[in-house]
Amino acid sequence: MTVIVSKEKVHSRFTAKVQRLADQNLLACYQCGKCSAGCPLAAYMDIPPAQMIRLAQLGMEQELLDSEAIWLCVSCMTCNTRCPKGVRIAELFESMRQVKLRARQDHLRVADVAAEELQAIPPIALIGSMRKLTS
Amino acid sequence: MKLSYFPGCTLKNHARNFEDSTLYAMERLGVEAVELDRWNCCGTVYSLSADDLMRRVAPIRNLIRAKEAGNRQLMTGCSMCYNTIKRANIHVRHSAPDLALMNAFMYEEPVDYAGDVDVVHVLEVVRDQIGFQALREKVVKPLAGLKVACYYGCLLVRPKEAAFDDAENPTVLEDLVEALGGEPVAFSHKTECCAAYQTVDKPHIVADKTYQIIGAAQSQGADTVLVSCPLCAFNLDQRQALTRQTYGDFRTLPVVYFTQLMAIALGGPESVLRLDLHHTPAAPLLSAKGLL
Ligand code: SF4
Ligand code: SF4
Ligand code: SF4
Ligand code: SF4
């Protein structure tokens, strides 16, 4: 991926918003990669967690909001538990999902899930996915 | 001992095997678990946005119900409910302004919430309030020869502030299995996430995880995987069908709730186990071990 860094992006309102929603300081991350190493969903992500944080530091709004990764993170908290800098990566993923969801850009379409699946899947999974993936 | 009990929505339908065995075991251990009247869904997942108080109202309302019932403790069996309600409780205990705002929003409630109810998990009650020694003394049918891989998933151990055991190497379930006379096995995947609600629209990811987690248990000679969360149970048990389709060499393995093993060891009738709700049958294994 080619990434063009600029002063405008680094100081963008997007970066400020993500930090405010997550109540986190992005610059605390020193890119050790431990969050990516332990993430159970990293293998399925187009951009692994540590790179997501780096892109957020640089204000790469479009790359982040268009990523599959924001929808794959399940807030399992493995990264948060292990980060040596105490960065709450899961909260940062949530804040980026929220930027999309608060603009009514849902990820999950319940209508696309087969009827027999909806019967079989317990409420704990349905409610969880709707809360995380729809507005 | 008397406390309020919050079942959560999944224990009332797909996971009756969890609820019936929990209530049986609690009764045998002398815990009077009184279900809240008018409880509402806790919302399942804890909101991680700093400004999202609205999604913390549901858990706090359940704590108000416990307070109304005159109890200082709210017990859940579902790990996910436990985690969500406990984290909302931690939040309001640390933020007086947010608590005041939420109380103002719920002005029709007869009492204000003041952070004065403790959220406890069934396992915590057994470990800290009953004690494994007292449990051991009540066992009438020890789980002799049953090799168990204890699966914690995420919500019992993370985040640290909501956990009641070590985040990387918890032992409460192993200690429980030992007290019941069973044999816990070393289990590399005990806190590895099963991909949770991705089961709804990306079940292939869950099939991969189930293959890895069940495979790790089998490599240690486990007869069964023990769980404490109905979503872990769905992913590790019901999703074995998809796992089998995906991986030719996958061998199925029964998945049970820790409360089902408690109910068996405490001499419970088969009816409280609801073994009809399992995808991979658990009855043949339990019969072979002389436990049914
Ligand atoms: S573990 Fe923490 S410090 Fe390391 S890369 Fe991830 S967020 Fe940055
Ligand atoms: S919380 Fe999200 S990013 Fe962190 S380890 Fe879990 S799935 Fe990966
Ligand atoms: S976690 Fe679920 S099952 Fe447990 S109450 Fe909350 S939503 Fe319902
Ligand atoms: S469902 Fe998966 S996400 Fe939940 S606790 Fe179980 S392991 Fe974690």
Walk me through the domains of chain B, giving residue ranges and CATH numbers: 2-122 (1.20.1050.140), 141-288 (3.40.50.11810)
Q: What does the DSSP assignment read for B104-135? A: HHTTTSSS---S--EEEEHHHIIIIII-HHHH
- Decide: pTM greater than 0.90: yes
What are the DSSP calls for B45-78, one per residue? S----TT--GGGHHHHHHHHHHHHTT-SEEEESS
> Is residue A92 within 8 Å of residue A26, measured between CB atoms?
yes
pLDDT digits (tens, 9 = 90+) for B184-210: 999 999 999 999 999 999 999 999 999
Which ligand places an atom closest to the C-alpha of B81? 3
Which whole number is the average pLDDT over A81-108?
Answer: 97
Among residues A124, A76, A96, the alpha carbon closest in space to that of A18 is found at A96
Minimal-distance CA residue of chain B relative to A44: B205
DSSP B225: E
Name the residue among A127, A25, A8 with its Cα closest to residue A61.
Answer: A8
- Using pLDDT thresholds of 50, 70 and 90, give the confidence band for residue A125: very high
Phi-psi region of A16 (alpha: psi -120 to 50; beta: other; left: phi over 0): alpha
Bridging pattern class, strands B32-35 and B2-6: parallel
Q: Is A131 on the interface with B (CB under 8 A)?
A: yes
Report CB contact under 8 Å: B231, A44.
Answer: no
Is this prediction's ipTM beyond 0.85? yes
For chain A, give the percent of residues with pLDDT over 70. 99
- Domains of chain A, by residue range, sit at 7-103, 108-135
Under an 8 A CB cutoff, do A40 and B80 touch?
no
Q: How many CA atoms lie within 13 A of B208 on its CB side?
A: 11
Confidence band for A10, pLDDT divided at 50, 70 and 90:
confident
CA distance A99 to chain B (A): 11
Q: For A77-104, what is the mean pLDDT?
A: 98
Determine the angle formed by the axes of helices A49-57 and A89-101, rounding to 10 degrees: 70
Mean pLDDT score of chain B: 97
CATH fold group of domain A7-103: Fumarate Reductase Iron-sulfur Protein; Chain B, domain 2 (1.10.1060)
| Res. B258: pLDDT tops 90 | yes
Q: Report the DSSP beta bridge partners of residue B147.
A: B183
Q: Which atom of ligand 3 is nearest to the CA of B42?
A: 6
Which helix H or strand E contains B230, and what residues bound it? helix B230-233
Share of chain B above pLDDT 70, in %: 100
